[in-house]
């Protein structure tokens, strides 16, 4: 697994999100401006989540592998550094309360 100190906002947000709930994960990523809100992006997220569902983690983290699948749909904000999810974790916690 990669070091969390190297995470981008997209990877960190995926690490914080409830990946078992694709709808909530999708809404959070779009609300945060990390993914374009297109049907193609949503299908890519669903496909990436399905591919990771039963996978054993070897190499990069699940969040990193999913982020790689979504790279074509990521906004510039998604590439901002977010070591240890310092930005994404509190934003996800606040988003859950809304």
2-56 pLDDT, tens digit each: 899 999 999 999 999 988 899 999 999 999 999 999 999 999 999 999 998 877 7
| DSSP secondary structure letter of residue 8 | B
Cα(66)–Cα(10) distance, integer angstroms: 9
**Total-model pTM:** 0.89
Number of domains in the chain: 1
**Predicted pLDDT of residue 73:** 97
Single out the residue of 20, 73, 11, 13 nearest to residue 1, CA to CA.
11
Cα(71)–Cα(94) distance, integer angstroms: 25
Cα(22)–Cα(48) distance, integer angstroms: 10
For residue 58, what are the domain limits?
A: 4-96
């Amino acid at each position: 697994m990669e070091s969390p100190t190297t995470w981008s906002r997209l990877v960190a947000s995926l690490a914080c999100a409830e990946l078992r709930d694709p709808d909530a994960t999708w809404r959070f990523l779009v609300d945060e401006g990390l993914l374009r809100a297109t049907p193609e992006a949503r299908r890519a997220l669903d496909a990436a989540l399905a591919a990771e569902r039963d996978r054993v983690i070897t190499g990069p983290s699940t969040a990193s592998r999913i982020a790689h699948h979504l790279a074509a749909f990521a906004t510039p904000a998604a590439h901002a550094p977010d070591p240890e999810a310092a930005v994404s974790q509190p934003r996800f916690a606040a988003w859950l309360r809304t």
